[in-house]
Structure 1
């Protein structure tokens, strides 16, 4: 290669200045991001509290319209994310690249790394849906709708787990992995700020220092707040049912068996107060130790189900479910159902909207938060180690959890031992009902307390991680200066969003708001995936020609 050829290959962009205030209340923060984000979230809170009926109606109409229009987009987008993750991990040229400089080593051990990823990403959902999802699909799923299996029979177990694994499997974690990879790649290799807009730098370069970058970060903040609100909403409901199970009073539940308004307020004060205190302590202290604690408590609960639960059936469910899932994954990833005018076709299409499309929207809304958080704790790992660690390990843990905890509940239901007590209660209470049907009253009481504590650690870990991520985005990628007053603001804001929407319309209202908020970020997610592919491709060319791709004079993407 000649000297003139080498000069045509520019080094990557290594500076993306984001203007922040130098003094006052917003010192160290970007007013262009922080203020609009706070205004949007505050208006949502005011609307939900002051005009609850109007808020419920508008959210319902918007949800029905958007989820119908963009269902195919969500299905194909998430399928594409999974396929791209596999390619990037398997290709030697991309897999060996490191998120960082050549001599960088991981900050956290693999145990702490995995614990923080699992706790921030899916911990709360797993406690609610470990029993709730298999039992729901045991009663209704596309195979049952098509008449190929009968609800609440052994013949429905296999299809119930196929769809349970789909929703909690590799696809969900591929969404997180690509979001985090796009941010971590340019942050640790090129020194760009640890924020969402930086992930798009390989596509848009210095244009992201202005309005386009501000808009991207604002969309990410709002999506994060709405995504974490769904998770906290689930956590609050299950936390309240746990308190009721251990005898703290009938005042905790309303007439419809949902959490009462008073219980929601008390639970949010406890949960968000603890989360805010943990966020103030930073990632290396509060979040790390809480993540390790909740993983240890998870193993204790897991071990109890191995001893007392349906371990052999669960092992069979895991094996068959994993086989069915892997074989069916390509078709399920790119096979969107559509209404065809028949009762079966319409019912399958509606089921996919209610379940699969909802989940993909939920994971996408969570992507800026979980993606940035995973990027924050993944410096020094190779692309292959990162993708395998983020996509495979937590997903397999979810499968084992669903098979053992959910399989025990399924066995109790099919045998008749827990038919009324488990199926007959709300999803937030089904894990406690399973424990009550499985163990003696004394043991059940003790393990119900353990679940309450475990749930609290997961809720706190998710909330404090979200608060820190939002603060980091608002601070232009600076994760060191915590901004105590702003952490407190976002803690209160999250509590008010969750509380107001729970009171307005329960978990349905929070889910609806999240799906609407996830749509704009789904387009950002697609651009992030394209950007990281371009960044890796350009870096392989640079390395081939001896051009520095981790530092040097500013160039292109």
Structure 2
């Protein structure tokens, strides 16, 4: 029986000399122009940029809510199906003799640090508290906000946003790339994952467009993460006594981060990130990721011992059960505005939380996906999904249960007396430490949190810079492109700073949601392409044909 062989040769034209040696000019220059135009627009015309971005954001959230919800459900179902299907799960991402390059600890540390590490410090305290006050159950009148009866629902939605949906979309991108890079010998770049659908057409404009979309989405997705991180980093610096210059107060008495504070934080973060990126994945990023995980375990252990231990652990185990049993329904639920008070409120809530998060994860996915693929060679598909989707989700859950649970318990018991509740998003963790501990102990833990924030921010930023360069270089991480690394480090800082100037974190949020939409279509195609590729390999294996093409000597 004749089975068409897969695409194993994808020619991507790269420059052979000059400043862009080793890089695809079609991708690199186009991406630089688009990102540069966004920076100039945000800085030169901040009011116009904020207005236009806001209008586009409203249209997308209202018009593509079904698309985002069903796309994320598709990613979760696809990952679970591949892990549970025995013949698929045991397929190796590489040749038979390939073994993982990194230990399980370093592997998971790098995945978590690059994927969602910063979010744990910002949202593990804040999000359970927000949903404790208001969530779909309170909107529909099933539970009452701010009461014990609303705790379980608060964790259902927190876990939905930070669990399988987030890590499932990352996993699909990483798996599609790793499969085609290590089993087909194709370049480790976004376009390669669509080879079963578009074939050699990806060598031209179609492929260039896909990689440009991935680069722009990465810049905006990482900027969203850095934006939240910068705000909390400045809050931490203020907490440990760096001075009032980090904040400014307008004529109406509203306090906000100062321009000087933002510039200082970005210089520290992106300076460290650029130096780390220049050292590569195996050195700076690996060392920082291991440091992140060790410090994270220290912070978790602190909350396990000194926080609301029983309350937090109860939230963890009960929350996992509630999340698992509600997932089949919640992952497909879409609320649309219907003119009623409840219907409109549910639609607004889902747009502001679930759809926003899903867009964030999708914008972040090209960066995390390429990074996952780079560090996952030699692992089986089942092992990869377990390590890339299940384990990080559980780590997120324990963070939310212990840290967020402690905050809720302090408010329920009136110990905090509204201090945590009323604090700004970036301040909640530091305020909680101050409520829990004496001055000296709170100061010590705040210093640890600031260090952890800085290492997470640097890890995310330096990984993103390297991944952007890898995509621009047609999947080759070999070119010693120091100037390009420096350029993208500066560009990321300028995007974050420019958009914050244009409209604060909301401007970054709206730009990210807009940038995520085109890549969401690419991601769905990646999932379909992966199904086609794996089905083809199973058929080839059935008839004794070659399935691994990374080396011509490799066979079934």
Aligned mates of 2:471, 2:113 — CA distance in 1: 21
**Corresponding residue for 1:235?**
229
User: Which segments of 5 or more consecutive residues in structure 1 lack a partner in the other structure?
Assistant: none
**Corresponding residue for 1:143?**
137
TM-score normalised per structure 2: 0.97
- CA offset digits 1:15-54 (Å, max 9, x no partner): 1111100001100000000000000000000000000000
Aligned mates of 1:167, 1:501 — CA distance in 2: 25
Using the TM superposition, give the Cα deviation of residue 148 of structure 1 relative to its aligned residue in structure 2, in angstroms. 1.8
**Corresponding residue for 2:421?**
423
Aligned mates of 1:320, 1:42 — CA distance in 2: 47
**Cα 1:381–1:165 shift into 2, 3 Å:** same
Aligned mates of 2:169, 2:209 — CA distance in 1: 21
Bigger Cα displacement from structure 2, 339-348 vs 266-275: 339-348
TM-score normalised per structure 1: 0.97
Aligned mates of 1:319, 1:109 — CA distance in 2: 28
Using the TM superposition, give the Cα deviation of residue 345 of structure 1 relative to its aligned residue in structure 2, in angstroms. 1.1
Using the TM superposition, give the Cα deviation of residue 549 of structure 1 relative to its aligned residue in structure 2, in angstroms. 1.4
Using the TM superposition, give the Cα deviation of residue 11 of structure 1 relative to its aligned residue in structure 2, in angstroms. 2.8
- CA offset digits 1:394-438 (Å, max 9, x no partner): 000000010000100010111111133211110101011111111
- CA offset digits 1:256-293 (Å, max 9, x no partner): 33321110000000000100110000000000000000
**Corresponding residue for 1:164?**
158
**Corresponding residue for 2:359?**
361
**Corresponding residue for 1:519?**
517
1:131 aligned to which of 89, 112, 125: 125
**Corresponding residue for 2:390?**
392
Using the TM superposition, give the Cα deviation of residue 328 of structure 1 relative to its aligned residue in structure 2, in angstroms. 0.4
**Corresponding residue for 1:349?**
347
Aligned mates of 2:216, 2:480 — CA distance in 1: 19
Aligned mates of 1:461, 1:482 — CA distance in 2: 19
1:80 aligned to which of 67, 71, 74: 74
Bigger Cα displacement from structure 2, 479-488 vs 290-299: 479-488
Using the TM superposition, give the Cα deviation of residue 482 of structure 1 relative to its aligned residue in structure 2, in angstroms. 3.7
Is 1:467 the counterpart of 2:465? The answer is yes
**Corresponding residue for 2:44?**
50
Residues 137 and 163, structure 1, Cα contact 8 Å, conserved in 2: yes
Aligned mates of 1:202, 1:117 — CA distance in 2: 27
Structure 1 residue ranges (4+ consecutive) displaced by more than 6 angstroms after TM superposition = none
Using the TM superposition, give the Cα deviation of residue 135 of structure 1 relative to its aligned residue in structure 2, in angstroms. 0.9
Aligned length: 548
Bigger Cα displacement from structure 2, 149-158 vs 128-137: 149-158
Q: Secondary structure at the match of 1:258?
A: strand
Residues 471 and 482, structure 1, Cα contact 8 Å, conserved in 2: no
Aligned mates of 1:462, 1:260 — CA distance in 2: 23
2:148 aligned to which of 144, 150, 154: 154
1:435 aligned to which of 420, 433, 436: 433
2:12 aligned to which of 14, 18, 29: 18
**Corresponding residue for 1:542?**
540
User: Which segments of 5 or more consecutive residues in structure 2 lack a partner in the other structure?
Assistant: none
Aligned mates of 1:335, 1:314 — CA distance in 2: 28
Alignment of 1:255-270 (within 5 A): 255=249, 256-270=254-268
Aligned mates of 2:335, 2:322 — CA distance in 1: 19
Using the TM superposition, give the Cα deviation of residue 338 of structure 1 relative to its aligned residue in structure 2, in angstroms. 1.2
**Corresponding residue for 1:315?**
313
**Corresponding residue for 2:475?**
477
**Corresponding residue for 1:188?**
182
Residues 194 and 476, structure 1, Cα contact 8 Å, conserved in 2: yes
Aligned mates of 1:323, 1:400 — CA distance in 2: 13
Alignment of 1:34-73 (within 5 A): 34-73=28-67
Aligned mates of 1:279, 1:190 — CA distance in 2: 28
Aligned mates of 1:377, 1:107 — CA distance in 2: 7
Alignment of 1:407-418 (within 5 A): 407-418=405-416
Using the TM superposition, give the Cα deviation of residue 139 of structure 1 relative to its aligned residue in structure 2, in angstroms. 1.4
- CA offset digits 1:232-278 (Å, max 9, x no partner): 00110000000010111111123333321110000000000100110
